[in-house]
Amino acid sequence: MDLQEKKKLLEEIEAKVQACTLCPLYKQATRGVPGEGNPNADIFFIGEGPGKKEDELGRPFVGAAGKLLEQLLQHIGITRNDVFIGNVVKHRPPGNRDPLPEEAAACWPYLEKQVEIIKPKIIVLLGRHSLARFLPGKVISQVHGKPFRKENLVYYPMYHPAAALYNGSLRDTMFQDMARVPVILKKIKNS
Ligand code: URA
């Protein structure tokens, strides 16, 4: 699929997200946050759901957690324009509560389609909600920094950047885990 076609299909998803009523989250949200980035990205980062700032701007990871994510990207010499960034749920859960399983399930087809279109080589699962959707049963404290191959894709769990904002001791771990991403990507490309 060429770049133009990918862009068109991703825009169709964006429009669907903005009009989505499949779960009640849209009712209290300002707008949808479909996700954004390079349609040809090798790396797809998947967080939990939009926070206050994301809800205001309609863009993923633009608040405090986003700043840390950008530093983590810089650590491996890339920017958010090189990757694709999305979330498990596309509308903000009220008061930043955890997304409910039924909300994540309702939103799943959008994420599935984005992955299908972008065809990343590695999906970085940011935090336990993203982990639970893709690798159910795994515990983030046990699997962060370890790649998992499943159906021709490599999943790589990491702590959520917001977790490191609350618990500073996770910060070093996150930078160490991020440093392995280009190493794993190189291995995938050479295999
Ligand atoms: N946290 C998330 O999980 N996603 C965002 O887009 C922002 C903060």
In which band, very low, low, confident or very high, does the pLDDT at 73 lie, cut at 50, 70 and 90?
very high
Q: What is the mean pLDDT of residues 112-140?
A: 97
Q: What is the distance between the alpha carbons of residues 17 and 8, in angstroms, rounded to a whole number?
A: 14
User: With bands split at pLDDT 50, 70 and 90, how would you rate the model's confidence at 52?
Assistant: very high
Q: Is residue 45 within 6 Å of ligand 1 at its C-beta?
A: no
Q: 49 C-alpha vs ligand 1 centroid, how far in Å?
A: 5
pLDDT value at position 190? 93
> Which atom of ligand 1 is nearest the CA belonging to 130?
3
User: Is the CB of residue 125 less than 8 Å from the CB of residue 156?
Assistant: yes
Q: Is 99 close to ligand 1, i.e. is its CB under 6 Å away?
A: no
Q: Dig out the tokens for 163 from the structure.
A: 């977790």
The Å distance, Cα 91 to ligand 1 centre, comes to: 10
Looking at ligand 1, which atom is closest to the CA of residue 47? 3
Instruction: Give the 3-state secondary structure of residue 24.
Output: coil
Indicate if the pLDDT at residue 152 is higher than 90: no
For residue 57, pLDDT over 90 is answered with yes
User: Which ligand 1 atom is at minimum distance from the Cα of 160?
Assistant: 3
Three-class DSSP category at 184: helix
Confidence of residue 150 (pLDDT cuts 50, 70, 90): very high
Output the pLDDT for position 145: 98
Q: Is 154 helix (H, G, I), strand (E, B) or coil?
A: strand
CA of 191 from ligand 1 middle (Å) equals 32
Q: State both tokens at 33.
A: 């946050």
Tell me how far the alpha carbon of residue 24 lies from the centroid of ligand 1, in angstroms: 19
Q: Tell me the percentage of the chain whose pLDDT exceeds 70.
A: 100
Residue 50 Cβ inside 6 Å of ligand 1? The answer reads: yes
Strand extents, DSSP E, the chain: 36-37, 43-47, 84-87, 122-126, 148-150, 153-158
> What percentage of the chain carries pLDDT values higher than 90?
96
Q: Which of 61, 69, 91 to mutate to test the pocket of ligand 1 (most atoms within 8 A of CB)?
A: 61
Q: What is the rounded distance in angstroms from the CA atom of residue 127 to the CA atom of residue 176?
A: 16
- State mean pLDDT over 129-142: 97
Return mean pLDDT, the chain.
97
pLDDT band at residue 109, thresholds of 50, 70 and 90?
Answer: very high
Say how far apart CA 159 and CA 118 lie, in whole Å. Answer: 23
Residue burial 34-46, b: 16+ Cβ < 10 Å; e: rest = bbbbbbebbbbbb
Are the C-beta atoms of 32 and 26 separated by less than 8 Å?
Answer: yes
**What is the pLDDT, as a whole number, of residue 120?**
98
Residue 97, burial from CB neighbour count under 10 angstroms (0-12, 13-18, 19+)? exposed
What pLDDT does 168 receive? 87
Residue 10 banded pLDDT, cuts 50, 70, 90: very high
